[in-house]
Structure 1
Amino acid sequence: MVALTERNFTARAKYLYDIAQRSVGPLSGDRCLMIGAGSGHNTEIFGEGYEEVHALDIGPQDYPNIVDHSLIADGTQLPYEDDSFELCAAISVVEHVLPPANRDRLVNEMVRCTKPGGTVFLQVPNGQFPLELHTGLPFIHWLPGGKQLAIRRGHTTLKQVHIPSRSQLEKWVRDAGAEIITSKGITYPKEAIPKYHSAYEILKNFGAFRLFPFGYVIVGRVP
């Protein structure tokens, strides 16, 4: 598993937050929800403008003080009423939903729990990026049987990773009833990149990110 530092997490959160604000304007309101909140870095950045910040994960987490309510729950069965939040966000979460056939249910639940006029924010890694982003292994996922080879070599976390394509994610957002405001490839600043900085710089200098963005962001508005 690629280890991200505090600096990496914070830089990623700020970069994604800027994309969200450029898409829909200032993120603010009564309540927001971060699904798969994990370390809490994204929650801390995205929750700044909200009166009440909710964080949800499948296991216990040590959240920052900005979190008003934390809950252990399954994102595909959110324990909230319809139209509960001005913002529902899931960052690097959809690809970890098990079984993978339930990934669209997470998106449906996010839209259901977002108020009319509210924002749904989703980010996923690019499954075709030259470096497999969960392990840092170059090109392994491009090879026939490469994922299974990586698992046999000890990268067992890949058993739980099923990255949707950009078009799949867009379809799930539309099918759930939201309008897509932004759909774009992302290239993180170098401050957000973990241990393979040199490889990142080489790929960037060759213009690889024009063909292979680091990941994708989908911003939706609930009508």
Structure 2
Amino acid sequence: MNSEPLERRGHAVLDLPSRDFKAMKIAQLLGLPPNGPRRRLLEIGCGSGGISRWFGDAGPMRWDVDAVDVEDVRLVRDGYRFQTVSGTTLPFEDACFDVVLTNHVIEHVGDEAAQRAHLREVRRVLRDDGVAYLAVPNRWMPVEPHFKLPFLSWLPMPLSHAYVRLAGKGTHYDCRPLTCGRLEPMLTDSGFAWRQRTADALRLTFELERPDAPLYRHVLQHVPDAMYAVARRAFPTLIYTLAPLTR
């Protein structure tokens, strides 16, 4: 998924147990009950295949699932259909999915024009009564998550490329994390009503994976929504649920 000449590498998460927790969190954020109607779901950038498998036949949903990625690094292949893609265009007809997931994908597709094209494609294949999930690293996170380098994403691209080379992490920086100020107008322009759900996702992460963690039980569980709203631009990961504006 690339509109630039720079080679873009895969950065898939291959930890399968974490994918089950991620899928559970996504389902809850989107309000998708396991006893609801059978739906059709698309995961863009499926990586290990764990999330697609969970929605397909490993979890409680048992949905009709398609997945795409720029390379095939899957660890699980059952329970869903898979295709490789080479650009932002999706190989599906209009309005054919009830749910679309784009989880840490948009930072990999290229420049702003490619990112906007990615969002338009999500909107194109999503039904008017559908929902979508989008997560992207915040550009202002202290440590860039793909290359593990402090302040890498803060720099202009030429300096980011040089930093990656000097650190021995590769030949160039192939990600473009976003900020709330850059992403949210793009979401609106692409035909979405959106809600930032980063605080909800943080709470769910602890409830599903570490419910007895002291930090959660004594601090985060009691932080009011108003404080999360004030800090929403500073979260290291930006998480949104999307709905077509025509709903």
CA contact (8 A) 1:118 1:221 kept: yes
| 1:130 counterpart (129, 142, 150) | 142
Q: Tell me whether 1:36 sits opposite 2:45 in the alignment.
A: yes
Residues 42-85 of structure 1: per-residue CA shift (max 9 Å, x gap): 22334453531101111224343121x21111452112111110
CA contact (8 A) 2:12 2:48 kept: no
- Seq. identity, %: 24
Paired residues in the alignment total 205
Residue 114 of structure 1: aligned partner: 126
CA distance in 2 between counterparts of 1:120 and 1:189 reads 22
Residue 243 of structure 2: aligned partner: 221
Identify which range, 125-134 or 163-172, moves more after superposition.
Answer: 163-172
How far apart are residue 41 of structure 1 and its match? Answer: 2.0
How far apart are residue 218 of structure 1 and its match? Answer: 1.4
Query: SS state of the match for residue 187, structure 2?
Result: helix
Bigger relative contact order, structure 1 or 2 (CA pairs below 8 A, ≥6 apart): 1
Residue 33 of structure 2: aligned partner: 26
Query: SS state of the match for residue 26, structure 1?
Result: coil
Q: Normalized against structure 2, the TM-score is what?
A: 0.69
| 1:165 counterpart (141, 155, 179) | 179
How far apart are residue 105 of structure 1 and its match? Answer: 0.5
How far apart are residue 4 of structure 1 and its match? Answer: 6.0
CA contact (8 A) 2:103 2:134 kept: yes
Residues 97-145 of structure 1: per-residue CA shift (max 9 Å, x gap): 0345311101100111011110121110122112211122334545674
Q: Normalized against structure 1, the TM-score is what?
A: 0.75
CA distance in 2 between counterparts of 1:171 and 1:4 reads 32
Residue 183 of structure 1: aligned partner: 196
Residue 215 of structure 2: aligned partner: none
CA contact (8 A) 1:140 1:147 kept: no
CA distance in 2 between counterparts of 1:5 and 1:78 reads 26
How far apart are residue 34 of structure 1 and its match? Answer: 0.4
CA contact (8 A) 1:32 1:50 kept: no
| 1:14 counterpart (9, 24, 27) | 24
Change (3 A) 1:148 1:72: same
Residue type of the partner of 1:39? S
Residue 70 of structure 2: aligned partner: 58
Task: Say which one has the larger Rg.
Answer: 2
Query: SS state of the match for residue 65, structure 1?
Result: coil
Query: SS state of the match for residue 16, structure 1?
Result: helix
CA distance in 2 between counterparts of 1:157 and 1:108 reads 30
